[in-house]
């Protein structure tokens, strides 16, 4: 019962966070921290209900696993702080597949946390690609600057893999076909991503519009003392106050792609269907 309540809370929190992330590019702490608190409380109640603390052990393991992954993605600037906190909450809330949902008969051929991660990679890629296309259409006047030239011999490798796949069984053949496709589209995706980052997602911002978590692309100094490093995962509230104090008003920032919608879709798919790959 408590797991079912928690699933509903998780999905509602992720859905609301998705809309906010799309609109403002940040997730309020009230949502992410609130979800962590709700997950902890409901897991404790569940443990007392069944008379076993095994669910708490699973939640601790899930939290630590998703914490490690979140920190890596946060410090490599793939995720913002809100994304990371929501993912930590998922580690507590969903370390195993809830038995109340087994009516969906999902594909649980691997550990459920791994299923979430695998599906997140897929939906993250699909949502990111879709959002890139949206940005390109929105800023189509800049498309003339986009160069997609690829040397002809590059196509030899995916063609070779395609031919090689014909000599293998179905499952391995599918994997080789996916590999060939990824190799084929990689140079185009790389150029498009770099183009969008440079021409669309990078812009000047004044101190009045700077918010916590924004990625400033340059070091910021005051009297030769560095108060912000371009290697930081994002600007803090304290640093913004220092900028205002020292009257530093102009910055070059890079906007991130909203990722919470991909997390929501991956979790929803995982709960209903399980692993996207049948093998």
Gap between the Cα atoms of 220 and 266, Å rounded? 38
Say whether 215 sits in a helix, a strand or coil: strand
- Per residue in 1-27, pLDDT (tens digit) is 889 999 999 999 999 999 999 988 888
Q: Following CA atoms 157, 162, 164, 168 in sequence, which dihedral angle do they give, to the nearest 10 degrees?
A: 150
Whole-angstrom CA distances from 162 to 43, 122, 150, 171, 182 are 48, 22, 19, 14, 12
Enumerate the domain spans of the chain: 2-112+258-273, 140-199, 202-254
Gap between the Cα atoms of 27 and 21, Å rounded? 6
Above 70 in pLDDT, residue 256? yes
Predicted pLDDT at 18:
96
In the chain the beta strands, taken as DSSP E runs, fall at 202-206, 215-216, 220-222, 225-228, 250-254
- Please count the residues of the chain: 279
Predicted pLDDT at 279:
65
Gap between the Cα atoms of 189 and 28, Å rounded? 31
In DSSP terms, 226 is beta-bridged to 221
- Close Cβ partners of 97 (under 8 Å, ≥ 6 residues apart): 106, 108, 112, 115, 271, 274
Average of per-residue pLDDT values in the chain? 91
Backbone conformation region of residue 51, classed left if phi is above 0, alpha if psi is from -120 to 50, else beta: left
Burial 144-158 (b: 16+ CB within 10 A, else e): eeeeeeeeeeeeeeb
**Predicted TM-score (pTM) of this structure:** 0.85
Give the lowest-confidence range in 101-105, 139-143, 149-153, 185-189: 149-153
Read off the tokens for 38: 């709700």
Gap between the Cα atoms of 67 and 149, Å rounded? 40
- Per residue in 115-173, pLDDT (tens digit) is 999 999 999 999 998 999 899 999 888 888 888 887 878 888 888 988 888 888 887 88
């Amino acid at each position: 019962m408590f797991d079912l309540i928690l699933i509903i809370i998780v999905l509602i929190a992720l859905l609301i966070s998705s809309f906010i992330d799309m609109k403002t590019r940040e997730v309020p702490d009230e949502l992410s921290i609130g979800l962590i608190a709700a997950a902890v409380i409901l897991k404790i109640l569940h443990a007392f209900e069944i008379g076993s603390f095994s669910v708490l052990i699973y939640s601790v393991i899930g939290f630590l696993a998703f914490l490690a992954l979140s920190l890596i993605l946060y410090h490599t600037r793939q995720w913002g702080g809100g994304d990371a906190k929501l993912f930590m909450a998922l580690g507590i809330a969903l370390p195993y597949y809830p038995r109340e949902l087994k009516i969906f008969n999902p594909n649980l051929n691997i550990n459920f946390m791994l299923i979430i991660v695998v599906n997140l990679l897929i939906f993250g890629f699909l949502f990111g690609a879709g959002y890139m296309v949206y940005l390109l259409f929105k800023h189509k006047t800049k498309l003339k600057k986009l160069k997609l030239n690829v040397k002809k011999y590059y196509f030899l490798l995916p063609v070779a893999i395609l031919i090689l796949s014909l000599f293998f069984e179905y499952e391995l053949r599918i994997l080789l076909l996916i590999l060939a496709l990824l190799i084929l589209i990689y140079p185009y995706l790389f150029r498009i991503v770099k183009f969008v980052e440079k021409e669309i997602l990078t812009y000047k911002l004044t101190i009045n519009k700077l918010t916590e978590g924004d990625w400033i692309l340059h070091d910021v100094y005051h009297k030769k003392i560095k108060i912000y490093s371009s290697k930081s995962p994002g600007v803090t509230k304290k640093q913004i106050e220092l900028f205002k104090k020292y009257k530093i008003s102009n910055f070059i920032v890079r906007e991130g792609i909203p990722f919470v919608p991909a997390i929501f879709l991956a979790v929803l798919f995982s709960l209903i269907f399980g692993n996207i790959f049948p093998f």
